[in-house]
Structure formats: structure tokens, C-alpha cells
Amino acid sequence: MEANYAATNDEGKTWDGGSVKPLGASYGKMMMWFFIMSDALTFSGFLAAYGLMRFKFIDTWPIADEVFTHIPFIHGDYPMYYVAFMSFVLIFSSVTMVLAVDAGKQMKKATVAFYMFLTILGGIIFVGSQAWEWNTFIKGSYGALKLNDGKMIQFVDSNGHKVALEDFVAATPYGVREQHTRDKGLWFVEDNNFKEFTVEQVIAGFKAHPELSIVTEKINHETREKQIVPHSEAFGFLNEAKTVVVGANLKENEYGNTLFGDFFFFITGFHGFHVFSGIVLNIIIFFNVLLGTYERRGHYEMVEKVGLYWHFVDLVWVFVFTFFYLV
């Protein structure tokens, strides 16, 4: 009796994916689920912090429809169009991943490779689009003036449409400022915080265009629009202007509250890193499929494992998209 117990007792041993499978899952799939759960808690913490800060500064938080309005190679105001396209591509790649997993269960090597390729292509399009969006966000659209209290003001025409600084700023008699670089004169001077226009030039240009008004950060929650100050009342704000801000970074943000830029870069960047990692994993699995690795193993479980990760990344984007672009 004791000998039989000793032979069958597994107490103290680490489960290595043997015949007994908790919840019917293999060791590898269980470990992927553990990773997904821990990563989900990480993203939840980030999004909760974002929600808290947005609620705290709800009266001055940038409006997504005014920030994400660009489409590559097309000039105009198309709020959320390209972001919607990015989201569709990523979600559709989740569909192709499902089809790849299903084909793997049927041991159809060519079909698995085809749908894995489409999944990889969708991920590359998404990451490339996100890089383009970052670049556009960093460069800015219109420019703004930063006041002494840290608030931002921008400029609008008589129809309430935003106007870029270069469209109305008066040039000095000496022309437009030129950035200092080491190959232009003073080799030991380099202007890393270059602004094409000065505050004085912006104010002079505004005075010369009476049809212009300014728009503040403050939001009218009934109309979902920012407060517009008429030209005649705008100089009280302009006299408080401290510097010109163009684009967005971790210190300044022409669109409004700096925290918006901080959270945007951090959370979307963290998610983008996950997508990039998923692309790398998918490429490895894709070539293993082509080499017949999983045919020899007799199963395509590895495709299913990386599929779980890819679906998680897509699901996280649904929440990121909702928090940053829709709410």
C-alpha cells in the first residue's frame, strides 16, 4: 500500500504539462493565460490613471475630434477617419488569426501560412499607421501660445475653424527666423528648442487680422466645443503669453493639457510595443509553418498560443481606442 502511494504521489513536483491538464489546457497555454491576465492588470492600471486625470481636468481636456483629424497624403479636416481605419485593420487581423488557428486544427499547412501572412500584414499596417500618427501629433497642426499659467490658446477664423500660425503671423523686417545649427555660423551654438515665430510676431499678426479670434482650453460641455474669445477681448490673454508651442511632446502640448500628451505617448506606445512584439512572434511562427515544424509535431498548438496573445492585444486596443478617441 505504501509502495503504491510512493509510486503515484506527485506532491512537490512542478507540473510540466503531463497527462493531467488543469482546465483542459496544456502547460504552454496556461502560461500564456497567466501572462495575459497579468498584462491585463497592467493596462487596467494605466487606463484607470488616465481616466482619473481626465475626470480631474475634464474642463480643459483636449477634444479628440480636434486632435486626430489627419489622413496621410490628404489635406483637410477628417476627424477620427484614419484612427477608425487603423482599428479596423487590427481587428480584422484578429479574424485572420482565428482562421489560421482553425486551419491548424485541420492540419492545413498552406491555409495556416496564408492567414498568418495576412495577420502579420495587418499588424505591420497598424504599427506603421501608429508611427505616422505619432509623427503628426509631435509636429502639430496649428501651433499655439502658452500663457503664464500654463494654459494654451489657439486661433480661429470667423467660422470657428482653427488657423495655423504661419497663415497670419507677421514676419519681422529681417525675415523668418532661421534655426542655429553647427553648419551655419556658430559651431558651438545649436538651438534645440527652435520656434519659427516669436510671441511678439504672433501678436503682431493677430492685430493685423481683425477677423481672427482665439480659442481657449475651456470646454462647453453642452456643445462639446472650446470657448471662443472675440478679437476685441483676446488681448487680455495675449498679454499673458509666454512662449510659442508647436506640436506635442512630454513637456508641452499645443492641443491643451500636457497630461494628455504624456498618457497618449505612454499608453499607445506601450500598446504599440505589444503589437510589434506580436508581429515578431507571428513572423517566427509563420516561418516555422513554412518549414513544416508543426506538421512534424502533429499539431499547431503554437499558432493557437500566439493567437491568444494577438487577440489580447486587439482587445486592449478596443479599450485604448474607447478611452482616447471616443469618450
Contact 274, 313 (CB under 8 A): yes
CA separation for the pair 141, 69 (Å, rounded): 9
**β-bridge mates for residue 146, sequence order:** 152, 243
pLDDT of residue 212: 94
CA separation for the pair 154, 50 (Å, rounded): 24
Q: What is the mean pLDDT of residues 272-278?
A: 96
pTM above 0.85, yes or no: no
Is domain 24-140+260-326 given the CATH code 3.40.50.1370 in the classification?
A: no
Tell which wins on pLDDT, 96 or 193: 96
Grid cell for residue 129: 499607421
**13 has a pLDDT exceeding 60:** no
Tell which wins on pLDDT, 58 or 269: 269
Tell the residue number behind the cell numbers 508647436, with chain if given. 246
Q: What is the mean pLDDT of residues 195-213?
A: 87
| Average of per-residue pLDDT values in the chain | 86
Q: Tell me which range, 18-32, 173-187, 293-307, is most confidently predicted by mean pLDDT.
A: 293-307
pLDDT of residue 59: 86
- Picking from 241, 264, 259, the residue whose alpha carbon sits closest to that of residue 195 is 241
Least confident of 71-80, 116-125, 139-148: 71-80
Map out the domains of the chain as residue ranges. 24-140+260-326, 144-246
Grid cell for residue 116: 498568418
Using alpha carbons, list the distances in angstroms from residue 39 to 124, 280, 313.
22, 18, 10
**287 has a pLDDT exceeding 70:** yes
